Structure 1
């Protein structure tokens, strides 16, 4: 739903937004009202208070809810079924063992982060996180300690690549709006993303993991020693999933786990298909390939993220699911995997509803409009406007594209490298302060079994350090880029 004409002044809209977030946190963290109910209730109250016409309030609510579910529900559903197959067949264990063998046990979190950086190049944040979930939890189960040690480096890697590096839609749209060269945006953004991940995510996650203990969730793996105790790993090196993986008996003879090449090949399928779609779409947009080519359109279709994950799941059923079990047993296994994610999907959709109401009410535009005329340096202005949009409405991609449009006139005539640095600054602002109006906040919270307070103390902090590190890199490189002019 498009933003309507604001019914209140900027100051009033900002007060409404601040009050909405405060009430939401109070209901969830103090009253202990279910997050799904709280999000829907506060979204309704915010829509009314912000002056959205009462006849349009249901549309404002369902528009944000539906658009978020449209992008998340299929990914989470297919991803969790794929993850369950990888877990029960020992595929996740095989991949985890191989990664750890390459990097060493002491650097297991680093290994997960590096793998996520590679896979995160073409794959969106939510899709990558879903696919990597069983691998993260398998490594966490094996070595114990707070799940933050393993979850944050991987999740932060997907977040960094999604926000800063083409071919993801946010940086591509920002670079296009600002009139830059997407190739230069990629060449500048990739090293900035890598450095920002290491400083703002990996090093920070080590500190957060040492200070805050988060037990291993049983979303895929089943309870561990009563729900999160890490006194002893329950995964065996030979690929079995141990006593906590939901098996009925530990004396059952299991088939040998799949080969590493099989598991890696399955994970590469969505990577290749999505990357191919991205390349073809770029070529069509730039008119290198003409529109209407049937083969190109077919390849673009199979490269759409939900379709790519569906194809991967079908291949996993054929290669892993029939490994020592009937198709009926595999179907039951997949059906059981869907139950625990119902709450995740609904809460994530409700988070999108809240962000959609904030956008439709004009709160985001009011906030950015008040910042755009303050006469501050362009790089800082880009960062603060994107931050304001991020805080106000939650979506990093919306913050990227909207902030870029607001500063586009000031970017005319800039060198491509400086435009790329502006994209980094906007992406940095669109990354910080992920909170309750961000659907990604709820995905991370529910996937890793964290309550809202813990998620704010961990994920929100890490997203903020990631964004601040990227902005600091842009500030350092800005004067150096003058040497190229």
Structure 2
């Protein structure tokens, strides 16, 4: 996306950004305007107010929308197809029953969170959340109470791993800009992620879940009560989902498949960047192609259609009907998420984030605190955590080199940047809209719950990093 020189000073740009967010919240919460319409309208007005040339406004809007849509549409589409198939064939119930049988009812949220931490090592936040949704909702439906008690520990685990732990792109890029060792950053990032998840997500989600009740939504995956038929749409099959439930090992293998495939891409990319393997080797290119999130989910959906559907006595027509019915409800999710990316893209193109971060880079405070604050401001200003991480690392890279920091301190600096880029997820963040739509929450409730939890996660990660900084 093309970026433009700031047309105004930092105070004016800050007022424009604050006014845009306030107007968006007013339109959605008070006026009850549809979020998609409100996001496109406010994005257009913000672009004009920030001084982006009128002729360039359409391209800026389309660029932010299409970039987000390109990464989200395929992912969400394949994800809900897989989730609906798992739901209707009884696979999600089998996995949930086994998980609860091993850990117990009272530790169900912890079990979901720990499983998400493990699965979140190679996979991005949004992909992991989509794949795990049917399991989360099945567990929540079984035990009752607020969906947030079960959903937030899992979603927060994916968010923590995505932000803090290599081989995810943000910490890897920041480590490169700061000349920090990626392997050591991984060793530092895992315990920081786990501790910050426990304090900032698991404990906080218990409080939020008791105060805010969210029913399990049925729009995406429906509600299975033991009587819905696979062929209910008229394909002729009378096989009841709960009577043909697959084995636990089969379900687990299907769920593990995308994580294994995606790890090909993320791990091989890290190894190639460190010159451990040749980046241009043919076998590396093919394995990385299999590990592209959309390709990995495509392969998984095809395998699931055969293993959970055709091989268990259902026709491919039955399975296609399931997929067709799963895709209908996600139009709103995809469009709103794309429009959220559009809003964030306008803020990036206007130079608001750069102007704010530049004004913070000369505050004369501790480097690790400065890194956290700059990343947090960039996160609030333009929405993307990855952009906030990489931009902040570039801004403070020179100061970090001049300070002569040790290898552990450099890795902790990466953690502080990632922590700042995690806080205050709000309406310019596409992940905010994914959580809002998937969990069936309105904007106000999402701000009171998800935004709070993302902030406590980021603050916890920064506190752990700062504590270790004083030791090392």
> Could you say which TM-score interval applies, normalised by the shorter chain?
over 0.9
* Residue ranges of structure 2 left out of the alignment (5+ in a row): none
Note if 1:342 corresponds to 2:331. Answer: yes
**Offset from partner CA, 1:347-401 (integer Å, 9 cap, x none):** 0000000000000000001111111111111111000000000000000000000
**Offset from partner CA, 1:231-265 (integer Å, 9 cap, x none):** xxx75xxxx4x67999699x965543111111111
Note if 1:123 corresponds to 2:123. Answer: yes
- 8 Å contact 1:44–1:57 — kept in the other structure? yes
Name the CA distance, whole Å, in 2 between partners of 1:396 and 1:253. 43
Instruction: After TM superposition, give the deviation of residue 282 of structure 1 in Å.
Output: 2.1
Match 2:437 to one of 446, 455, 464: 446
Instruction: After TM superposition, give the deviation of residue 219 of structure 1 in Å.
Output: 2.7
Q: 2:407 — aligned with what?
A: 416
**Offset from partner CA, 1:203-228 (integer Å, 9 cap, x none):** 000000100111110133426xxxxx
Q: 2:449 — aligned with what?
A: 458
- 8 Å contact 1:424–1:470 — kept in the other structure? yes
Q: 1:378 — aligned with what?
A: 367
User: Over aligned residue pairs, what C-alpha RMSD do you find?
Assistant: 1.7
Give the TM-score normalised by structure 2.
Answer: 0.96
- 8 Å contact 1:36–1:350 — kept in the other structure? yes
Q: 2:159 — aligned with what?
A: 159
Task: Summarize the Cα distance change of 1:252–1:302 in structure 2 as closer, same or farther, 3 Å threshold.
Answer: closer
Instruction: After TM superposition, give the deviation of residue 285 of structure 1 in Å.
Output: 2.1
- 8 Å contact 2:425–2:451 — kept in the other structure? yes
Alignment map for 1:81-480 (pairs within 5 Å): 81-222=81-222, 240=226, 253-254=240-241, 255-322=243-310, 323-412=312-401, 413-480=404-471
Name the CA distance, whole Å, in 2 between partners of 1:75 and 1:273. 14
Instruction: After TM superposition, give the deviation of residue 308 of structure 1 in Å.
Output: 0.6
- 8 Å contact 1:274–1:305 — kept in the other structure? yes
Name the CA distance, whole Å, in 2 between partners of 1:312 and 1:90. 17
- 8 Å contact 1:221–1:245 — kept in the other structure? no
Task: Summarize the Cα distance change of 1:441–1:245 in structure 2 as closer, same or farther, 3 Å threshold.
Answer: farther
Q: 2:51 — aligned with what?
A: 51
- 24-33 vs 277-286, greater mean Cα deviation: 277-286
- 8 Å contact 2:230–2:239 — kept in the other structure? no
- 8 Å contact 1:51–1:361 — kept in the other structure? yes
Name the CA distance, whole Å, in 1 between partners of 2:82 and 2:286. 24
Q: 2:6 — aligned with what?
A: 6
Name the CA distance, whole Å, in 2 between partners of 1:83 and 1:277. 23
Task: Summarize the Cα distance change of 1:253–1:359 in structure 2 as closer, same or farther, 3 Å threshold.
Answer: closer
- 8 Å contact 2:14–2:352 — kept in the other structure? yes
- 8 Å contact 1:222–1:246 — kept in the other structure? no
Q: 1:80 — aligned with what?
A: 80
Name the CA distance, whole Å, in 2 between partners of 1:355 and 1:86. 34
SS in structure 1 at match of 2:341: helix
Count of paired positions: 465
Instruction: After TM superposition, give the deviation of residue 431 of structure 1 in Å.
Output: 0.3
Name the CA distance, whole Å, in 2 between partners of 1:45 and 1:245. 47
**Offset from partner CA, 1:314-337 (integer Å, 9 cap, x none):** 100110122232111111110110
Instruction: After TM superposition, give the deviation of residue 414 of structure 1 in Å.
Output: 1.0
- 8 Å contact 1:134–1:220 — kept in the other structure? no
* Residue ranges of structure 1 left out of the alignment (5+ in a row): 224-233
SS in structure 1 at match of 2:137: helix
Name the CA distance, whole Å, in 1 between partners of 2:167 and 2:275. 17
Name the CA distance, whole Å, in 1 between partners of 2:74 and 2:221. 21
Name the CA distance, whole Å, in 2 between partners of 1:472 and 1:425. 9
Name the CA distance, whole Å, in 1 between partners of 2:351 and 2:231. 48
Name the CA distance, whole Å, in 1 between partners of 2:139 and 2:232. 19
SS in structure 1 at match of 2:244: coil
Task: Summarize the Cα distance change of 1:326–1:282 in structure 2 as closer, same or farther, 3 Å threshold.
Answer: same
